[in-house]
Every structure is written in structure tokens, then in C-alpha cells.
Amino acid sequence: MPGSRRRALREDVLPVLVLDTTGTDAHSTARRAERTLDGLEDTLTRGGRTGRDITDGPEGSHGRDGGSRRGAHGTRDRDDSREGVFDRFDAAAGERLAPYARLRPGAGGRPGTPATGATGTGATGTGVPGTGVPGTGYLALRAGEELRANTPRKGTPLPNRNLRLMTDLTEGIRERPNDPVPSGRELRDRAYSLRAEEADGGLLHWLARFSDVQFSGPLAWLGDLVALFGKSVLYRFPRWCWTSWWTRRLLRSKHNWYEQWRRMGRTGESVFEKVAQLLTRQSERLGRDDEEAARAAHRDLEELLLRALLADLRDAGPGRFGPRARRRRTRRVMLLELPSAGEPGADAAGGFLRALRNTASAPGRASLLVAAAGCAAAYQEEDWRRCQNLRHGAELFAPVQDAEALALPLLIPMPSQNFDEEGIFVTRVEPGGPWPGITASSEIAAEVAVGAALLAVLAAFLPWPGQDAGTACWDGRYVKGAHVPEPLPANATAKNTARTQYDSVVEHIRQLNDEAVRSERKADEHSRSTVRRVVYLGATVPSDPEEAIDNGAVPELRGLLLAQRRLNQEAVEDRANRVRLYVDVRDTGRDFADAEEEARRVVKEAERYKDSEDHRTVIGVVGFSESRRETRKAAAVLDEGQVPSIGTTATADAMQRDPRTGKALTYYRPMSPDNGRESRIAASFAHSERVVADDGGQCEYARRALVVEEPGDLFSEEMSRKFAGEFGEGAERLPLAGGGEGGGYTPVGVAKTVCERIRQEPRTVVYWAARVRNFSAFVNAYGPDSGCGGLPRKLTVLGSNELTSTALRGKYKEPWLRLYHSVHVLPERHPDSNGQADRLFREYVDNYTADDPWLNDGHVALAHDALKVLSTAADDALSSTGTAYTDLVKAKLDEEIAFQGASGAIRFPELHGSRPPVDKAITILHATAKGPEVALHCGAFKENEPPVSRWGPGGAHPCPADG
């Protein structure tokens, strides 16, 4: 059989084979279809089915020699007198080699029992409700029964959990279509009771039996206890758990097949309520005096049952681990007879083919091979793929890659000759097995015994688990597949400097701006866009490649460009409610020297063009990648001028307050977690886990912290003060020289002082609150100049986001350094990363490179989200008032702003003021040669999930909350 590998059985969908055996009349067509399917059935058995000496010839003749002869597969055909009887397997004569189902729409009864006639009431005998058409029913039920019954020897029967549930839930409408549909709770209780009554009902069956036990004598008190609490413990609670389990499985899990089919979205209702609603709609169709509506309802119920069966096939898929999964080495096969039009079962066969077509892309479909034979003309549709003969069909019989052609059956005409006379010999299935002759249960027992023996051997020679675990270093967890960037200076040629990259991004932004202006000036109001200006305030890109990496202007502009491109495209698609953005990039000098002056220009322009209502109308500012006195003054100027501003990576709490009055700003919103929250998290990290290395390569808790700061620097002074306060006793601040107040240490002096303190107290961590350029000088000085680089113990440094860009590109590879640093995004491919972050990673790599030093440092994501905050407020203003300018945007910012951002979940509650988003995501990485390891991540990373509230091994430590 094609596609016997595990991947093929999960992914490669084969087309339905429809073998056209049309003869001179309905009787001859049915006989030829039966002989064809008999031959296919013989390939699925070793030794053949129970043999019978019967005739075999075209159109019911006795063959060329007038006697009986064997078909193409070495087995005899059925006797005329036994036609229509389902053959039971003789265990001695035939062994099933693959699970299969033989479906006869015109027959009823259980597998292996004689047909009950055209009006049977078995799984396939129930007529179409309301139509009066006999001999038709739900073939998915019969398929599930036979696939379970026809399990190969040593195999495990199909569990049919989903199908069994849907069978119980639809029993009423199938058997009594005119009765009212029960409520969701009644359906649940009915299905639960049926499951509890069965011997294999597990815990449900045990609870039902226990509730019926009568206690007497000394145990009479137990009976009273059961009577008192039994209804809650034995009735309500198990049913609630059962409902929750099925609701999650069918509506909210990764494989929520029912929700994927009905497309209901997230809902608070249980799956039983949803099924009750579906059955109610089908009952209404059945209640009409309309035969076609009844047939449509029957087809929908058939599809429901088939999808449940496919879900069971998916759950029972092949796998590498587990004896049962390893034994699933072939597809399941369905052999379907197609009665002629008007014959009993024709409607059921047609409905089943339609259900197969509708479920072609459903999970579990790849593990199924369907072959139908009979009068194809009664079922054929215009788009079926028609083959010339069997050989042509064999060439086309392959997994379908085109989604549109996925559901198209292969129609193959069958002449009167058998397969061997056509030149195609169907070989018998020989799937083999991992352990021939051994059952899955025996293999499990053997594996348990071998595993126990190995554990006993290991226990004798290895130390007990946890013996030394208390001294292991907490490094974090490596994110498999994350890119490790190359240093930019190695690529910084004359044609590829940071400045050329900066200019390239600015040029692309200018092109988007020109497109927006042209759209604004279109005469046709239906194709005209509303355009507003957003000003970006960034620092000059240094000429030195090392400083250019730490500057952050290039990645911020790239984040703005990617956001502007997507937001403007969305605005084109919804011109009435979305604002197209014009991003005005402005250089504020080295280290934001001219930021205050530029902010005053923005205030004047915002006032001047407020009423122009075009691309000159300023709605806000993004920028401020660093917390400096210059950027703080600029934010205050914009606040006084009533221009909204969104900070990107500036983290100082002081940025949120006016430097003159100390009052909180009302027009400023930071995107990053502030220094107060970051210092609490960093101090908790240093105190709570073993991060300080000892002489033996293990780690201990930090008892002392040396906090290096830059006097006169807004960010550094504040961060060092807050971290020292949070760390508490044992914290010592080491100011660097050059802060304008005299005194202080040079980087070499810091290195020597750190070395001395570590000799006094080895359990010391260095917290670097100064700028990154001084950290590089400190690292260069610590080894050769301080005399500590050769010590057996490593130096542990915990740094702020200031070190991120340089650390991520692997610059600090000294063997004596254990470096941790904070960052405002998770590395790519982390399991807690959200879809927006993953999409931005892909777009960034597609537009630039996976080796880019800024890929994971947060500048791109925070700038992207900052522009989206302004865009969201502007869109809200436009949709509610018909225009957008600074006052309206500010009013919308004061309302709740919430969306899934690339840097985590963004939520500014109503009247949140100048504080960062609630529970803003923050991460601490451990820098290693193979790439960053996530040592801590706290906060809201996904919009519809609770914030990450614990960190450490097994979630041992709580995340500090917002202050």
C-alpha cells in the first residue's frame, strides 16, 4: 500500500478510488462490484477468507471452461445463493493484515451477521429520517464497528472514543427523528450514563457501581455519608469533569476537530450544548414536509459521525514510541459498494461519498484508504478525475498536494476481465511488524522489566538524584533553533556600515510616506485614505561600528518600517476606519543632544497643522530609546505641548515625571518595563537562585552585590539606586569616574576593586547599571590587569537591557565570565512566544538577515508595538469622530488600549497614566557560546493567557508583580 511510513500515514491524503463496474443491469453491476471488492478484501488477509467453490465469470457466467475458477488473487468468488451475506473470518483460514471495513449500504446488522433486509435497523439499516427511503443509514457507524472488529492479530482495536460519544449523542435523532431534541445537559447525562453502564467505562463505571452499594452493620455510617455527599461527589462532580474534558478536547485543544468543523470561535458553552444546537437544526429540517431537506440533514449527521471516526483514526496514529503505536504500519481501508440508482442503500452511499469529500482535509484522513465499486454513474460529479483504465489509475493514485484537488475521487472504468487480465496485479499487503508474534501487552511488560533492571543497575553505580542538585548552577534553558548573530563590525565594509543601513531604512520609509500622500490626494473619495503624521525622535548613528550596535537607531527604524508597512496595508483595506501613517524620521544628535529642541518644533507643527487634517497633522511621537536627561526634558516638552509620545526602550521611572515639578506626565507612555520593576526582578533573581560560581564549578546564592553606576547618567543612577535598595544588606555602589562630580573609579579601578571584594566574599555578584561602553573596558581590564582573571571561580555579572545588543552577538566569550542580562522580548522560537512575535521575526529575517545583531534584543519589537499603540488610538478616533489629531488621540489613549504585541501582551487600562503596560514582559538571559539561555521570563507574553507568574526550576519562585 502506498505511504506506509509514519509521515505518510499522518500527512499524505490519497484520493478515493471509484471503480466503475457498470454492467448490463443492476444485478450484473452489483455482482461485478462484489467480485471486485472481494479481490481487494483478499489482499488484506493472509490465507484468504473462508473459501467457497463458486462460479466466476463475466456477467454471472461459469467462466471460460464452464466450471469454477480462481480470480486474480487466488481466491474463489461468492456463491450466488450467499450473495449479500457478510463473510465472517475463519481464524484458521484467514488472518487480517490491515484494519478494514466492508460497507454494504443495502444491508444491516452487525459485522458477521446476515443481512436483515432492506429495512433493517442496524448501524446501516436505519432509513433516512422522514424520507421513507428504506435500506439506507449511517455508514460511518458501520465503518467504525468493522475497523474495530477487523483488527489484525497482535494489534490493538480502534478505541472509537469520539465516534462512540457522537453515536450516543445522535441516537435519539437517528432512531426517533420526530421526537424533540433534548437539551445539552440531558444529552450529556444520557451519554454519561451509557458510558458508565459499560464494563470498560473505567472510573465512570466504578463510580456508578459504588453509588449503588448498600452499606449495613458497622459500615452503616458510610452509607449515611454517601447519602449526604453522594450526589455532589458521585453525580455532579464526575459529570462536570467529564463535560470539561470533552469540551476542551473537542472545542479548545490543539486537535479540536468539532470547533474546526463548525467554526464557532471561543465560547463559554460546553460541547454538549453545541451538539444539541446542531441536532436541533437538523431536527427542524427533518420535521419539514420536504424530502430533500431530510436527505440534507441525513448527510450532515453522516459527516458528523465520519469526522468523529477520523478523529479516532488520528488519535490512533502511528508512532515511534509505544508498542501499540509501532504496530500501526498500514492505512485503514474502507471497501464501499455502490448500489445502482433507486436500489436500497444508494442514498446512504451517496451521502457517505459526499461526507468523504467534505472531510478530505480533516485530521486523520491521511490514514484512510477508500475504494468504492459499483454503478459510478449514479454518484459521479463533473469535477471527478476520470482515468482511462486501471493502469492510468495506478499512475494517478498518489498523495494529493493541491488543496483544491484533495477531495476529487479517481473514477476508473472496470471491464469484465479481472485485474490480471488488465495487466495490473494487486499484491497482498505484507506490513510486517516490529516484533512478530508478540502482543503489545507482552512487549510493554518486557519493556517495564528491562527498564526496571536498568534503573537498578544505575542506582547501584550513580549517586541518588538530588544529592548534588542543590549546588547546581541555574543557567536557564536553551531555545533550540534560535539564531546566533555575527558581530556587525566584521561586516562593516564601506558599503555596509550602520549609517548606510540607517539611510536605507529611511529611504524605504520615505517611499511608504509618498504612497500615503498620493492616496490622500486621490479625487475618488472611495479610494482616498486618511493620513496622519507620526514623528520619530532618534539619536545619531555613530560611525564606530561597536557603538552603532548599542545605539539602537537602526533596529528601531526597522521595527517602525515593518509596522508602518503592515498598518498602512490594513488601512487600505478599511479606509473608513483606519488611518494611514506618515512616519517623519528626525535625527536629534549624538546621545539625543538636540532632543528637547526637536520636541519644541514638533509641538509647534502639531498646533500649526492641527486643523489641516492631512499628512501634516501630527498625532504623536515615538522614540526615546535611552533614558537621558535630554530625552526626559523632551518628553516633558511634548507633554506640556499636549502631544502624545510613546517611549520605546527608555526604562527610567524618571521619564514618567516632569523634571521641574516632579508631577506625572499625562501624554507620555513607555513601552518597556520601568527600572523599578526590572530592579525588583533582578534582585529576586540574584537572591533566589544559585548563580555565583564557586571553586568547584558549582554555584551558590549571592550574599553581596557590587553595583557599578555612572554618576550624572539618568538611567544608571536610578537603576543602581533601585537595585541596591531591592538587594538590601550587602549591596555596595561603585561609581565610575567622569560623571562631572570628581572622584569615582576608572574601569581598571573597578576591576581591581571587584577582585578585592571577591577575595573577601566569594559569593559576590556584580550588577552593571552603567553604560555598555564602560562594561567592555571593564571586561578587558579584569583579566590581565586585576589579577582575578586566573582565579578558579568565575565572575558572575548581572546586567540591564543596556548590555543586550552587545551580549547577544557573543562578544563576551571570556572563560571566567558568567553573564546574565535583561531583555524585553523572548528569543525566537521560545514556546511562550506569541504569534505576533513569530511573525515579526520572520518578516525581519526575510527583509534583513538571521545573523543580524539586533534580531532578539527588543528594539525592533518595542518600536513596532509603539507605533501600533498610536495607530490603534488614531483608528479609534477616526472611527468614532471621523477625524484624528493630538487631543482625540490622547483621549483614546486614556481609554483602554489592548492588543497582542510583538514584545508581549500590551494593555494600557483606562486612565493608566504614564506607567508601562500592565505586567509588561521581561526576560533575563544567560549568555553562552551556543546562544542565549532563558534563565527567567515573567509577565504577559500572550494576550489571551494569564501572565507568567513563576520562574526557576519547576516554577519554584514567584515573579515580582508590578509595583
Tell which residue, 822, 820, 768, has the closest CA to residue 794: 820
Chain segment 595-611, per-residue pLDDT in tens: 999 999 999 999 999 88
Q: Which is more confidently placed, 44 or 654?
A: 654
298-307, 401-410, 527-536, 885-894: the lowest-pLDDT one = 401-410
Say what the pLDDT of residue 367 is. Answer: 81
The helices-and-strands tally (H runs, E runs) of the chain is 30, 27
Q: How confident is the model at residue 631 (pLDDT cuts 50, 70, 90)?
A: very high
Burial classification of residue 60, based on how many CB atoms lie within 10 Å of its CB (0-12 exposed, 13-18 middle, 19 or more buried): middle
Q: Which is more confidently placed, 694 or 916?
A: 916
Say what the pLDDT of residue 962 is. Answer: 76
Long-range contact set of residues 729-732: C-beta below 8 Å, sequence gap at least 24? 730/703, 730/704, 730/705, 731/704, 731/705, 731/707, 732/704, 732/705, 732/706, 732/707, 732/757
Chain segment 424-450, per-residue pLDDT in tens: 445 554 555 555 555 656 666 676 777
Chain segment 146-165, per-residue pLDDT in tens: 888 887 776 677 778 889 89
Say what the pLDDT of residue 889 is. Answer: 94
Cα–Cα dist 890/914, whole Å: 12
List C-alpha distances in Å: 378 to 114, 302, 819, 902. 26, 19, 73, 54
Q: Which is more confidently placed, 739 or 15?
A: 15
Cα–Cα dist 769/775, whole Å: 9
Chain segment 258-286, per-residue pLDDT in tens: 888 887 766 778 888 888 888 988 888 88
- Stretch 389-398: mean pLDDT, rounded? 81
Q: How confident is the model at residue 115 (pLDDT cuts 50, 70, 90)?
A: very low
Asked whether 734 and 707 are in contact (CB, 8 A), the reply is yes
Cα–Cα dist 226/206, whole Å: 15
Say what the pLDDT of residue 693 is. Answer: 82
Query: Which residue has 458508565 as its cell numbers?
Result: 196
Chain segment 3-26, per-residue pLDDT in tens: 345 666 667 788 888 998 888 888
- The alpha carbon of 406 is separated from its chain's Cα centroid by a whole number of angstroms, namely 24
Give the DSSP H or E segment for 720.
helix 714-727
Backbone angles phi, psi at 622, to 5 degrees: -125, 155
Q: How confident is the model at residue 577 (pLDDT cuts 50, 70, 90)?
A: very high
Is residue 928 over pLDDT 50?
yes
Chain segment 293-343, per-residue pLDDT in tens: 888 888 889 999 999 998 888 887 665 555 555 666 678 899 999 998 888
Backbone angles phi, psi at 567, to 5 degrees: -65, -40
Torsion, CA 416, CA 331, CA 154, CA 36, rounded to 10: -10
Q: How confident is the model at residue 774 (pLDDT cuts 50, 70, 90)?
A: confident
Say what the pLDDT of residue 924 is. Answer: 94
Cα–Cα dist 684/41, whole Å: 68
Asked whether 90 and 106 are in contact (CB, 8 A), the reply is no
- The set of cell numbers assigned to 451 is 527498564
- The alpha carbon of 771 is separated from its chain's Cα centroid by a whole number of angstroms, namely 38
- Stretch 31-44: mean pLDDT, rounded? 85
Cα–Cα dist 172/839, whole Å: 47
Asked whether 290 and 132 are in contact (CB, 8 A), the reply is no
Is residue 90 over pLDDT 50?
no
Strand ranges in 273-364 using DSSP code E only, listed in sequence order: 332-338
- The set of cell numbers assigned to 622 is 515615538
Q: How confident is the model at residue 493 (pLDDT cuts 50, 70, 90)?
A: very low
**What residues are paired with 699 via a beta bridge?**
693
Q: Quick one: what percent of the chain has pLDDT higher than 90? A: 33
Say what the pLDDT of residue 217 is. Answer: 55
| CA-CA-CA-CA torsion sign (707, 709, 711, 713) | negative
Cα–Cα dist 423/768, whole Å: 80
Give the DSSP H or E segment for 370.
strand 368-374
Is residue 586 over pLDDT 80?
yes
Q: How much is the mean pLDDT over the chain?
A: 79
Query: Which residue has 458521585 as its cell numbers?
Result: 234
Is residue 557 over pLDDT 50?
yes
Roughly how many angstroms between the first and final C-alpha of the chain, as a whole number?
A: 64
Say what the pLDDT of residue 960 is. Answer: 85
- The set of cell numbers assigned to 347 is 442514498
Say what the pLDDT of residue 329 is. Answer: 65
Is residue 868 over pLDDT 50?
yes
Cα–Cα dist 231/719, whole Å: 59
Say what the pLDDT of residue 456 is. Answer: 73
Give the DSSP H or E segment for 412.
strand 410-413
Is residue 234 over pLDDT 70?
no
Per-range mean pLDDT, top range of 99-108, 325-334, 788-797: 99-108
Backbone angles phi, psi at 422, to 5 degrees: -85, -15
Is residue 130 over pLDDT 50?
no
Cα–Cα dist 853/161, whole Å: 51
